[in-house]
């Protein structure tokens, strides 16, 4: 079998580096075609040394020049591309078999659509791209004949718990049950959430991740985005998606069938598991993730979301169902607001509880028609970000 050629979008991030860790375990199966990053020149250069990609892409011209210089000094065979649509180019090149989408945020939407239209195997970690893209994204997958595989641990778990033929899913699924760890603030006094710092919000008890998704896990907006992601990946009605808190993150999610039998997928919390599954599906390969030690496993527990004031603690979660049932495009508005609000919180411009306030306010302000193309989606995303910037500026001035 020929080695599979892989482009990793966002290779310097948490998912990107875990992907390359799995790839390095299987030099007979995979070769790296392209690596991309936003600003981390050093890390991307080290990755180029190790994986010898044909192409490397940096988000800015200045960073690309720095990388180019280093690559030239070492005489590597990697070309640095800097054109405006470099990400789309390396995601859709005819030589590529698989694309790992590991950019954070709506910035990953255009290259995801390019990979989908080019019929690639698209490994989706970048959940925001599907939340923003919605039906437009799915249409690109269908028209391009792409294979869309989930990397998010919950969605990988659901995919692993479903029968092979997607045509059988609608009649068989009763419910999709997403597990949530509850993040770092699951038991913290609700009144004290106003004062939490970015450092506290980024200290996740079970997973080590990028800062944006860490804050989303603390607000549980990550789970809201995952509910939307599940809706599009598995084609189920929003009311058939349920969330339960499972603090140990051992059960990664479950499918309840029409007969009320439940199939779940379990594993240690290590993203190399779902990444290896996406890379090798329908086969299985070594991932580097530790096995569950059944003799030392702490008890697995579950908490309903209405316990311990969870509805008050995690008010953003309900927005998933509200936006899914609202006008088409509402999920894109919510995502943009949340990206801006999370960044403003990380920059210490707004408080933790004001992330939700910003999201609500932007949803109320932005009116829109149903987006039908990438252009419509990018316009709606930009407009929602402008509104969010205005809200954040007002809030920040009051704090
Ligand atoms: P991260 O911040 O660690 O890495 C993000 C990567 O994207 C980096 O390589 C960065 O250089 C690149 N990037 C950021 N902004 C960019 C831009 N504007 N243009 C081009 N490149 C850009 O993030 P992460 O934790 O690896 O998460 C990546 C995605 O995977 C997110 O959508 C996240 O929700 C999802 N995800 C992550 C985890 C996890 O365990 N980290 C689990 C499930 C899903
Ligand atoms: Mg997840």
Q: Are residues 290 and 354 in the same domain?
A: no
pTM value surpassing 0.95: yes
The tokens for 48 are 């180029």
Which ligand is nearest to the Cα of residue 124, counting in written order? 1
Instruction: Assign 1 a pLDDT band (cuts: 50, 70, 90).
Output: confident
Residue 233: the pLDDT is 98
Mean pLDDT of all residues belonging to the chain: 96
Radius of gyration of the chain (CA): 21
Domain finish residue from 151, 172, 205: 151
Which ligand is nearest to the Cα of residue 84, counting in written order? 1
Residue 82: the pLDDT is 83
Do the Cβ atoms of 126 and 108 come closer than 8 Å?
yes
User: How many structural domains does the chain have?
Assistant: 3
Q: What is the pLDDT of residues 214-263, one digit of tens each?
A: 999 999 999 999 999 999 999 999 999 999 999 999 999 999 999 999 99
The tokens for 306 are 């209405």
Residue 208: the pLDDT is 86
Closest by CA to 55, choosing from 26, 92, 23, 25, is 92
Do the Cβ atoms of 335 and 343 come closer than 8 Å?
no
Do the Cβ atoms of 311 and 332 come closer than 8 Å?
no
Residue 203 in this model has a pLDDT that exceeds 90: yes
Backbone angles phi, psi at 99, to 5 degrees: -125, 120
Residue 83: the pLDDT is 77
Q: Are residues 221 and 339 in the same domain?
A: no
For residues 266-287, give the mean pLDDT.
98
- For the Cβ of 181 lying below 6 angstroms from any atom of ligand 1, the answer is no
Residue 307: the pLDDT is 58
Q: Are residues 112 and 142 in the same domain?
A: yes
Instruction: Please write down the long-range contacts of 342-350, taking CB distance under 8 Å and 24 or more positions apart.
Output: 342/212, 342/215, 342/216, 342/221, 343/212, 344/392, 344/396, 345/198, 345/201, 345/215, 346/198, 346/211, 346/212, 346/215, 348/198, 349/392, 349/395, 349/396, 349/399, 350/392, 350/395, 350/396, 350/399
Domain finish residue from 290, 322, 354: 322
Residue 152 in this model has a pLDDT that exceeds 80: yes
Q: What percent of the chain has pLDDT over 90?
A: 95
Residue 213: the pLDDT is 97
Say how far apart CA 226 and CA 223 lie, in whole Å. Answer: 5
Residue 249: the pLDDT is 96
Give me ligand 2 centre to Cα 78, in Å: 33
- For the Cβ of 226 lying below 6 angstroms from any atom of ligand 1, the answer is no
- For the Cβ of 138 lying below 6 angstroms from any atom of ligand 1, the answer is no
- For the Cβ of 207 lying below 6 angstroms from any atom of ligand 1, the answer is yes
- For the Cβ of 330 lying below 6 angstroms from any atom of ligand 1, the answer is no
Question: Could you tell me the residue range of the domain that residue 232 belongs to?
Answer: 152-322
Q: Are residues 25 and 161 in the same domain?
A: no
Give me ligand 2 centre to Cα 74, in Å: 38
């Amino acid at each position: 079998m020929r080695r599979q050629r892989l482009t990793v979008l966002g290779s310097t991030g948490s998912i990107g580096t875990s992907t390359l860790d799995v790839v390095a375990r299987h030099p007979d199966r995979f070769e790296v075609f392209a690596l991309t990053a936003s600003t981390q020149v050093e890390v991307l250069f080290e990755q180029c040394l190790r994986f010898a990609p044909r192409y490397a892409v940096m988000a800015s011209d200045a960073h690309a020049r720095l990388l180019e210089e280093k690559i030239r000094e070492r005489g590597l065979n990697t070309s640095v591309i800097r054109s405006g649509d470099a990400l789309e180019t390396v995601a859709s090149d005819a030589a590529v078999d698989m694309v790992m989408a590991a950019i954070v945020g709506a910035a990953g939407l255009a290259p995801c659509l390019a990979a989908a239209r080019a019929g690639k195997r698209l490994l989706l970690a970048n959940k925001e791209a599907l939340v923003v893209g919605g039906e437009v994204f799915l249409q690109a997958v269908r028209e391009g004949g792409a294979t869309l595989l989930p990397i998010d641990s919950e969605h990988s778990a659901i995919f692993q718990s479903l029968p092979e033929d997607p045509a059988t899913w609608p009649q068989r699924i009763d419910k999709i049950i997403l597990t949530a760890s509850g993040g770092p603030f699951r038991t913290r006094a609700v009144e004290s959430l106003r004062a939490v710092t970015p450092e506290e919000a980024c200290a996740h008890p079970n997973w080590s991740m990028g800062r944006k998704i860490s804050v989303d896990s603390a607000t549980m907006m990550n789970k809201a985005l995952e509910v939307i992601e599940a809706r599009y990946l598995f084609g189920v009605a929003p009311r058939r998606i349920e969330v339960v808190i499972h603090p140990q993150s051992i059960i990664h999610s479950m499918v309840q069938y029409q007969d009320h039998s439940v199939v779940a997928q379990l594993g240690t919390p290590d993203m190399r598991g779902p990444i290896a599954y996406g890379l090798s599906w329908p086969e299985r390969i070594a991932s580097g993730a530790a096995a569950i030690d059944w003799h030392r496993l702490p008890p697995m527990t579950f908490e309903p979301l209405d316990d311990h004031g969870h509805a008050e603690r995690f008010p953003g979660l309900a927005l998933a169902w509200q936006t899914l049932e609202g006008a088409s495009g509402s999920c894109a508005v919510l995502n943009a607001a949340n990206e801006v609000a999370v960044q403003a919180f990380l920059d210490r411009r707004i408080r933790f509880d004001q992330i939700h306030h910003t999201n609500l306010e932007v949803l109320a302000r932005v009116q829109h028609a149903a987006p039908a193309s990438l252009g419509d989606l990018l316009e709606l995303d930009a407009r929602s970000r402008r509104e969010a910037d205005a809200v954040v500026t007002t809030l920040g001035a009051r704090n």
